[in-house]
Amino acid sequence: MKEFPPWGITRETVVKIDADTSAGLGYNPYARPIDLHMRFGMVNLDKPAGPSSHEVVAWVKLMLDLKHAGHGGTLDA
């Protein structure tokens, strides 16, 4: 019994109540000021072949002056 992968399913939503969001609170994720954009940011990196994922993340942290960074694993199976 075949199932579709998550990227093969069209998701639909249903609205329960009519509500507005206040313009002065929070941000549209694509309109964050750059410091917040980086704070909630992620990249899909073309990892160079030699170094480990851990090393690469360390470099990215240095390069972008980040306190924390984590990767989603190269092979988790």
Residue 66: C-alpha distances to residues 14, 24, 57, 69, 75 (Å): 38, 27, 10, 7, 24
Cite the active site residues.
76
- For residue 74, state whether it binds another protein (rule: CB under 8 A): yes
The reply to whether 7 sits near another protein by the rule CB under 8 A is: yes
Under rule CB under 8 A, residue 50 binds another protein: no
Among 48, 49, 50, 55, binds another protein (CB under 8 A): 48
Residues that bind another protein (CB under 8 A): 1-9, 11-17, 19-22, 25-30, 32, 34, 37-48, 53, 56-57, 59-60, 63-64, 66-77
